[in-house]
A and B are shown apart, each in its own frame.
Chain A
Amino acid sequence: MTVNGWLQIALFGALLLALTAPMGAWLAAVADGRRTALTPVFGPLERGLYRLAGIDPAREQGWLGYAASMIAFKVAGFVLLYLLLRLQGVLPLNPAGLGGVAPDLAFNTAVSFLTNTNWQNYGGETTMSYLSQMAGLTTQNFVSAAAGIAVAMAVVRGFARHSAATVGNFWVDLVRVTLYVLLPVALVVALVLVWQGVPQTLGGSVDATTLEGARQVIARGPVASQEAIKMFGTNGGGFFNANSAHPFENPTALANLVEMLAIFALGAGLTSMFGRMVNDRRQGWAVFAAMFVLFLVGVSVAYWSEAQGNPLLTALGVDPTLGNMEGKEVRFGPALSALFATVTTDASCGAVNAMHESFLPLGGAVPLVNMMLGEIVFGGVGSGLYGFLLFAIVAVFVAGLMVGRTPEYLGKKIEAREIKLTMLAILVLPLVMLGFTAAAVVLPGPAAAISAAGPHGFTEALYAYVSAAANNGSAFAGLSANTLWWNSTLGAAMIVGRFFVMIPALALAGSLAAKKTLPISAGTFPTHGPLFVGLVVGVILIVGGLTFYPALALGPFVEHFALLQGTQF
């Protein structure tokens, strides 16, 4: 580890802190339906969309209506994306002449992008036409993110309102988030990335004759526009197979910094939006603080691990001063690779600037644990906040049990119905992650897709289902998962991981909105101080993390000790 490495991590933390409050103010204005600086630009378009869709923007929905609209929108999105992928061979904007995508891969990809997972069982440059990348995948990068933020807004309204029957209008939230937040920021970030060297062209690949006279075919395309929203919407699906390690997706350290900030910007901003909407900004900062603590723990472990050389290679004479460089890029080195890996899995992004599969065992365990906790450290846009609030409810419940009082959070009594919904959302993730992994490693067919031997092979399969169910999309990419079994089970894990958390969260919002808000009394447990932050971090690690300890012991921990012993597989 170097001083410079830590300084770069500190710089990232400071910039994130500076972005949080302005982003939160903007998001709160969008959620409340207030006029913004961009209303003169997008206002007519916004009103036109409502008219065309037959929506009265002033009419709010109950949680059930909100959820039904969200699901109807997802179904329509699935059908359109699936058809685009299957038919790309006969559609325009296909300079490489790529054929239609196979049915199981098209199913997996469509589910993957509409659940904001962006798991990719294909190499972008060898599979997807420009039309599929733009109209298919880029669109879902926007709207799956907007849907996540919309649900978070509905959940926050549940806390903020009292004796209310409605939690907002899904269509209004969807349109306003897309037009006023995602679109303008994505355009600016895309242009910054082009300035740094990310291509943005509809021209096909270039045939180059190298200095030594060999032929090199250089794939390019409309990369920057997708890259920007891929980060800002915590999507993570790369234009190219190598994702953000590819020099065309992430050419410089400055581009890398912008991309990492884009991943966390909305997750951090939403904590501030939460504080503003419940009329107590300290509540938002408490959530931010708990997330920031977990982020620091993760990045410290990952950087410590990756800054060491692989002892097996050091023994062969390779200089360990640059750290573990297998699957890493020189322009990022171990510090920025470890930071990126932590950020991308704290959030549900899943973009990678280094190959997680080649991380040392404990370094690779950091992204895995981040996803197992449910990606509540800033998290996926929207899903991070409502996922975190579920843990906050468990934390006040535990505190209530300790002192023998009915738990309250932000003046809302937390009762049996809320706890049941919360636990449903929290328990469904380990069930899917561990259940599918167990099946995949014992069945002979699926196990054939695993590339690594020994404990690392187990981690490879575990990582895949954890990533899918947590809607992350990063991979231990040695797995050859483009088979019927993996395409369909990973697709199922993504659906369960997205909607079995989203829908209980919306139900919770409906239930909380209907309650009265109790006045603060001397007996109220304050949820804005360090005691609450410590308690919620503890609950996240114990409830979220301990479930997975046996699986982690079988995978990365065993491999770590095997590596120390010099064992190879």
Chain B
Amino acid sequence: MLRSIRPAIVMIVTLTLITGLAYPLATTGLARLLFPDQAAGSLVMRKGGVIGSALIGQAFISERYFHTRPSATVEPDPADPSKTVSVPDDASSSGGSNLAPTAKALTERVAGDVAGLRAENPGAPIPAALVPTSASGLAPDISPAAAAFQVARVARARGLAPARVQALVEAHTQGRLFGLIGEPRVNVLALNLALDGLK
């Protein structure tokens, strides 16, 4: 055991320098050289300011915009740090609801959300992407069905023809890679930016 002390100390220190500093710093340098946009967080700029990241969902409330998935992200309550308050799409504190499938809190929340969506688009089935919360709380995309569900509301609020909005949704729908890998989805921030760009 005693004979192992010198190699133990030398190894942990040198391997820390190699794997804990040289490796991440080399990766940082190469990443900035090869993929500067992605390395910085795929930031989306408009009029010189950062409006978000293409990969991070943001909370939309206005009827004029497509909404992202419900988010369960929280922050410590400023009034009582032992409690938390809901801050949807909080990109500095990710996380899911972690509610059990049998939790009363889950069905109560869902019942409320379903009632709101029914009022918005009576008769249509409620898409699963619009009610259950995402795992990260920062999901940037929704399912094509969840986008289609919101077309009528957005068209009404903007005074546009629903067909025009639907065409925009379809143009922003990303399919599976090679028709096989992943699930079809619509990036909400890109879609809403395109909506604002419509004349």
Contact = CB atoms under 8 A, between A and B. Distances in A.
A38 interface: no
Interface stretch (A276-284, A314-322, A370-378, A429-437): A314-322
Contact of B182 (A187, A322, A331): A331
B182 A336 contact: yes
B143 interface: yes
Interface in A20-75: 45, 49, 52-55, 68-69, 71-73, 75
Contacts of A322: 127-129, 143, 145
A72 B91 CA distance: 40
A175 B30 CA distance: 24
Interface residues of B, number: 102
Interface stretch (B107-115, B151-159, B161-169): B107-115
Contact of B23 (A187, A246, A559): A187
Contact of A477 (B98, B103, B142, B183): B98
Contacts of B40: 199, 201, 203, 220
A217 interface: yes
Interface in A227-258: 229, 240-242, 245-248, 251-254, 256-257
Interface in A159-208: 171, 174-175, 178-179, 182-183, 186-187, 190-191, 194-203, 205-208
A453 B103 contact: yes
A220 B38 CA distance: 11
Nearest to B10: A53
The 10 tightest CB contacts between A and B, nearest first, are A253-B182, A245-B135, A139-B20, A72-B4, A242-B94, A326-B132, A478-B98, A135-B20, A456-B100, A200-B31
Interface of A: 4, 7-8, 11, 45, 49, 52-55, 68-69, 71-73, 75-77, 80, 123, 125-126, 134-136, 138-139, 141-143, 171, 174-175, 178-179, 182-183, 186-187, 190-191, 194-203, 205-212, 214, 216-220, 222, 224-226, 229, 240-242, 245-248, 251-254, 256-257, 309-310, 312-313, 316-333, 336-337, 352-355, 357-361, 451-454, 456, 476-478, 559, 562-563, 567-569
30 contacts: A4-B180, A52-B14, A69-B8, A76-B11, A125-B92, A125-B94, A139-B20, A191-B27, A194-B27, A197-B55, A198-B38, A201-B28, A207-B50, A212-B58, A216-B52, A225-B27, A240-B136, A247-B55, A251-B55, A310-B106, A313-B132, A317-B118, A317-B126, A326-B133, A330-B139, A332-B182, A336-B183, A454-B100, A477-B95, A569-B103
